[in-house]
Amino acid sequence: MYAIQDIPFSYRGSWFDISPVIAEKTYADDLHLVSHQTGMHPVLRFLPQHADARADTRITATPARLTWTSDDGRIDAAYQRADTIRLRGAGLGLRVQVAAGALTPFTGSYLFQDPVAGGYVLTSYETGRRYRITVLTGAITEAAGLEALGAGDRHLTLPAGQPWEIAIEEYRTGRPPFAATGGFDDVVAATAREFTGFADAVAPWRDAETPAAELAAYVMWSATVDPAGFLGRPGVLMSKHWMDKVWSWDHCFNALALAAGVPDLAWDQFHLPFDHQDPTGALPDSITHSEVLHNFVKPPIHGWALRRLRERLHLDPGQLSQAYQRLAAWTRFWLDHRRAPGRRLAHYQHGNDSGWDNATTFDGDRVIETGDLNAFLVLQLRELAALARDLDRPADAATWEATATSIRTALLDELWQDCAFVSRSTRTGDLRASSSLLDLMPIVLGDDLPEHLSAALAVRIESHLTAHGLATEPIASPGYLADGYWRGPIWAPATVLIEDGLRRAGHAGLADTVSERFRALCEKSGFAENFDAETGAGLRDRAYTWTASGYLILAAAHQQRRRDARR
């Protein structure tokens, strides 16, 4: 079981969930059907009833079943398929109330009975979809607001006096009358089998040493949506709470976690942002159902990610060629559009470009050359060289290698100062040090760093460790904020990248500690967007897929090391 306040009840492929979270940091008293088409919109409110009044209930959730329980009876919900949920009750009634506002020419919902296909249909301006409620057993005893315009209550009531069952479908314009596929218990059993199959694929190694693996798999499985809108492939959203997008570095961690067990879905995750690459080669900042944003970019970790994906996936020449072309264009964007005249190093235009939006690295200038960015570029250039060799393009490989060597040399010559990496203002050339973990990210170069330099980075990384993991800003820093986003909290992507770099640089003991503390944090506090570095409490969105992915990536590697040690 899991807490519905933290993780929504949903189903692989579905664009809606059942949750009390109805907007950013907004929790309702009742569960709602919340759609993520055209944004995050609460559509229907579920109010359990007994004796013509709201019933006090306890809510429990498993991947296959959501249940409201009281001393008088229970209500269960289960997905029949991605766009359809079934609910049944015994001893408790249910009021299904329209959650949207008044119907105007531009907003609101309209409720009516469909004389052709049957059922009660709610058409929502906010989501652009229809929601059909079909009674399978029992009867609606009250239907308020049918065909009503303007303000007013709209709801349907199922009584507590007799067992009942309904189906709710999300669809576009028209469809045949609802057809049940088996009984309610059959639906629950089928969903349980589907999820177990997914968990067995992505975490076959799970055991008592990795107690959060199954829940991490559920967070991933339930946040997956079918192709729709701007997502031309199945996509794993960052969350089915308010962070319901695919950001152009988050997707890499989800792809890595899925690669060994669900390779096709993993490959789709890697390519989702590349499907919207612009003519300069830039990736969008984010993608969701009805929006593609290009106002910022995200860091070029894609070469780092692709190298690891290629170790897990069996890619044919066509896939390698496509990946090469897309990765090359993305790299040229940084080389051609983010290097100032006369500069060898690339720069960010804002903290948002780094993914570390408000890190103290950006407290001075915003347009800066940083160690993390240029280290990622070195890795990406080396991956392009490797791809070019595999594709029999030796001249291209030589060019990419030469560019990687040039940027690596410039990174060490220009930004390594007094045993630390600093940033440099692209406008003034001024150098500035910060205490952010971001400045230590060049550890991702691993054994491509001089030993004395990686050792110095490891010492500073260790100073960021709390009992729960790597604080993005040291607790003793004047810039530290407990819930300061990238100014203190622990984050999954920083953890995974640094753990990997430390291990490749030969600091396996520290890498083990980083992995162990983050895994223990997730096992204690779930899969929040980030965590309080001092208490370990989950912060912000509590059902974040890159956190679940980070756990799965680290846990899988931990289990592999255990197996290797026993041989």
**What are the tokens at 271?**
């390519």
**What are the tokens at 364?**
């001075």
pLDDT given for residue 101 in this prediction: 67
Q: What is the pLDDT of residues 459-482, one digit of tens each?
A: 999 999 999 999 999 999 999 999
Segments of 159-278 assigned E as strands: 164-171, 224-225, 235-236, 246-247
H/E element holding 287?
A: strand 286-288
The helices-and-strands tally (H runs, E runs) of the chain is: 13, 28
CA distance 474 to 466: 9
Q: What is the mean pLDDT of residues 7-27?
A: 97
Q: What is the pLDDT of residues 130-148, one digit of tens each?
A: 999 999 999 999 999 999 9
pLDDT given for residue 137 in this prediction: 97
pTM above 0.95, yes or no: yes
Q: What is the mean pLDDT of residues 241-249?
A: 98
Q: What is the pLDDT of residues 328-358, one digit of tens each?
A: 999 999 999 999 999 999 999 999 999 999 9
Q: 424-447 burial, b for 16+ CB within 10 Å, e for fewer?
A: bbbeeeeebebbbbbbbbbbbbbe
CA distance 39 to 35: 8
CA distance 283 to 279: 10
CA distance 205 to 183: 33
CA distance 371 to 377: 10
Q: What is the pLDDT of residues 502-528, one digit of tens each?
A: 999 999 999 999 999 999 999 999 999
| Backbone conformation region of residue 468, classed left if phi is above 0, alpha if psi is from -120 to 50, else beta | alpha
Q: What is the mean pLDDT of residues 267-288?
A: 98
Side chain identity at residue 16, one-letter code = F
* 3-state SS assignment for residue 452: helix
Question: Hey, CA dihedral for 148, 153, 159, 163, is it positive or negative?
Answer: positive
Side chain identity at residue 477, one-letter code = S
Contact indicator for 74, 50 with CB cutoff of 8 Å: no
pLDDT band of 567, cuts 50, 70, 90: confident
Say how many CA atoms lie within 13 Å of 490 toward its Cβ: 32
> How many other C-beta atoms are found inside a 10 Å radius of the C-beta of residue 98?
25
Mean pLDDT of the chain: 96
H/E element holding 423?
A: strand 423-425
pLDDT given for residue 426 in this prediction: 97
First-to-final CA distance of the chain:
35
CA distance 502 to 447: 9
* 3-state SS assignment for residue 9: strand
Q: Which residue has 């579905």 as its token pair?
A: 14
Segments of 5-154 assigned E as strands: 16-23, 26-35, 41-50, 53-54, 58-61, 66-70, 73-81, 84-90, 93-98, 109-113, 120-124, 129-137, 142-144
* 3-state SS assignment for residue 416: strand
* 3-state SS assignment for residue 93: strand
Segments of 509-559 assigned E as strands: 530-531, 538-539
Side chain identity at residue 206, one-letter code = R
pLDDT given for residue 102 in this prediction: 64
Residue 325 has pLDDT above 70, yes or no: yes
Domain boundaries, the chain: 16-175, 206-566
The alpha carbon of residue 280 and the mean position of all alpha carbons in its chain are separated, in whole angstroms, by 26
Give burial (CB, 10 Å; 0-12/13-18/19+) of 448.
middle
CA distance 526 to 216: 8
CA distance 34 to 74: 22
Q: What is the mean pLDDT of residues 552-566?
A: 96
CA distance 146 to 132: 13
CA distance 367 to 427: 7
CA distance 7 to 241: 8
Q: Which residues pair with 34 in a beta bridge?
A: 17, 42
Residue 107 has pLDDT above 80, yes or no: no
pLDDT given for residue 150 in this prediction: 83
Fold of the domain spanning 206-566: Glycosyltransferase (1.50.10)
Give burial (CB, 10 Å; 0-12/13-18/19+) of 264.
exposed
Taken as a whole, the chain contains a residue count of: 567
Contact indicator for 169, 122 with CB cutoff of 8 Å: no
Contact indicator for 27, 21 with CB cutoff of 8 Å: yes
* Vertex 392: Cα angle to 391 and 397 (nearest 5): 90
**How do strand 26-35 and strand 16-23 relate by DSSP bridges?**
antiparallel
H/E element holding 495?
A: helix 492-504
| Backbone conformation region of residue 183, classed left if phi is above 0, alpha if psi is from -120 to 50, else beta | beta
